[in-house]
Structure 1
Amino acid sequence: MRSRRVASAWLLVAAGAASGAVWAQGCAKPVYLTFDTGHMGVAPLVAEVLKRQDVRATFFAAAERTQTDGDSLDNHWAPWWKARAAEGHEFASHTYDHAYWRGDVKGVEPRFRIRPTAGAFAGREFTWDAAQYCANIAKSSERLQLITGKKPLPLFRAPGGKTSPRLLAAAKGCGYEHVAWAPAGFLGDELPSEKFSNELLLAQALDKIRPGDILLAHLGIWSRKDPWAPADLEPLIVGLKAKGYCFETLRQHPAYRGWIAAHS
């Protein structure tokens, strides 16, 4: 069964490559492919697929633990990020320490309970004020700019998508607009493969994604036994192209174009 699925997927890939010029002519049905960092184990494969399919994505980066015994923004991965910049991809912050919002703290001034899952203080809970949270967003953006030579977008994605109105207002006040994802755009690579097979996730995505959706995947998930990207990323891209979809970065997204222009 698996061999038949793989063969069918690559028939779609070949068809997409043969008609690749069509997708460059316009973007009447855009979707916005985004990646958050992770253990980076599939990062080389993701880069190969995006280049082969001539797709530009937006990457949200945190300094997360990697399979190379470092973090996803360290010097080992700097050439990878720089190559993506040269290819025209966009970057934004995922907070430097992959810092989860856990709740607001009552008071006049905005303060938040935050638990980093990366860095020296991973797993501990802290109370941060707006300036501290903003600094953690900015640290990722600054690191990305240093290693790529390209200024990231003035956007961020909170880990897990966990936010509050107060947190979003604080981030906006220091120049960062939050980006979530569409319900159908959650591609499922964080889900257990024992319950959500790659075949099922691909079928759901191709059936439910609609024009304008922001799609979310990761550059490696520690907990998933059967990685999503090697099986589904290219068939998803080719399948969406076959349905008339095209891919843009968040720089082109109508909800963020004005913000980016005003804050870049």
Structure 2
Amino acid sequence: MTSDHPAMTRRLLLRTAAVIGTLATARVLLSPDDDAPGPGPGPQTRARPPAAAPPDAHRLPPLAGETSRSGPGASPPHAGVAFTVPARAGRIALTFDDGPDPRYTPEILEVLRRHDTRATFFVVGECAVEFPDLLHFIAEEGHAVGNHTWTHPQLTTLPLGRVRAELGRTSALIEEVLGTAPAIARAPYGDWDQPSLDICNDLGMSPVGWSVDSRDWTCPGSETIAGTVLDELRPGAIVLSHDGGGDRVETVQALDRYLPQLLDKGFRPGRITP
């Protein structure tokens, strides 16, 4: 597939000087305290759930019994987890977690741009602080930016102070870089509990889950990923995919395969708003 990745790289370099002051401010605001996560490893060595978690728990199922409280004209926060969006006119939501990534995020943006499609990116703070210009590119192209914590931990295993730090630190960074705090958040592995939901609500964000898991994180091949999305897609669906956290070549290829097909079927992807 074609890509304007080199052009985007040049734009990234040009913008770097402009964001140095912003990042300096963000790092002061986000200096870890006794209860906040430390700088953490880089994007490729990001913390994962405890070793005791079963191997197939990389993506935990959405919490049973939670329903969406979002709707037209509503304002955040909404304490209930949204697993769908309003299904009118074939609306769906494509979402991408674990970025931004300097290779795969621009490639995904290029596919979305080519098909005039908007999506939602749930970003990890320790990745976003390394690549703030990618946050600008995401927002400038009309996509939504959501909070996916600072180091991608399983929130339900953490003390409440750490939960607040993971979410709050990431929101502060996004606000410093983009000028607006995120209104939505997704828990790593989709694993919310009532205390973490309360903290999300306190920080002014609405929690978001998903209804279609592309399972791109299992790297089953781009054709399989595309088939999963197309087979499970229904009006109102929120589709889970990833632009970071590993090798996402198959994700990019799958998106390029299934996006024109779902558009032909009458689905209309849009960004998630509370």
Matched, 1:160 2:197: no
Maintained 8 Å contact 2:97/2:240: yes
Partner of 1:22: none
Match of 1:117 in 2: none
Q: Hey, what's the Cα distance between the residues in 1 that align with 2:100 and 2:122?
A: 14
Match of 1:210 in 2: 234
Aligned residue among 241, 244, 249 for 2:266: 244
Shift of 1:39: 7.2
Can you give the 5+ residue segments of structure 1 that lack an aligned partner in the other structure? 1-5, 7-26, 65-71, 104-112, 115-127, 257-264
Describe the SS at the equivalent of 1:236: helix
Which structure has the larger Rg over C-alpha atoms? 1
Q: Which residue of 2 aligns with 1:94?
A: 148
Q: Is the 8 A contact 1:155 1:179 kept in 2?
A: yes
| Cα distance change of structure 1 residues 163 and 91 upon mapping to structure 2, 3 Å threshold | same
Q: Secondary structure at the match of 1:35?
A: strand
Q: Aligned pair in 2 of structure 1 residues 144, 39: CA closer, same or farther (>3 Å)?
A: closer
CA–CA distance in structure 2, aligned partners of residues 241 and 78 of structure 1: 31
**More strand per residue: 1 or 2?**
1
Identity of aligned pairs, percent? Answer: 27
Q: Is the 8 A contact 2:93 2:272 kept in 1?
A: yes
**Counterpart position of 1:146:** 176
Aligned to 1:121: none
Contact 2:124 2:148 (C-alpha < 8 Å) held by counterparts? yes
> Which residue is equivalent to 1:178?
207
1:59-110 C-alpha deviation (Å, 9 max, x unpaired):
111135xxxxxxx2134x2222112211111111101121212x4xxxxxxx
The one of 243, 247, 252 aligned to 1:230: 252
**Structure 1 residue 171: deviation in Å?**
2.2
Q: TM-score, length-normalised on structure 2?
A: 0.62
Task: Give CA-to-partner distance per residue, 1:35-74, whole Å, 9 cap, x none.
Answer: 112472311101111111111111111135xxxxxxx213
- Any stretches of 5+ residues in structure 2 without a counterpart? 2-87
What value does the CA root-mean-square deviation take over the aligned residues?
2.1
Change (3 A) 1:38 1:92: closer
When residues 161 and 181 of structure 1 are mapped into structure 2, their CA distance, relative to the original with a 3 A threshold, is: same
Q: How does 1:193-204 map to 2 (within 5 A)?
A: 193=219, 196-204=220-228
1:36 to 88, 97, 100: 97
Structure 1 position 165, deviation (Å) = 2.5
The answer as to whether partners of 2:124 and 2:149 remain within 8 angstroms in 1 is yes
Q: Separation in 2 of the partners of 1:63 and 1:173?
A: 19
Deviations 1:178-205 (A, max 9, x none): 11000xx2111111x3xx3321221221
Using the size of structure 1 for normalisation, the TM-score is: 0.65
Question: How many residues align structurally?
Answer: 187
2:243 is the counterpart of 1:219: yes
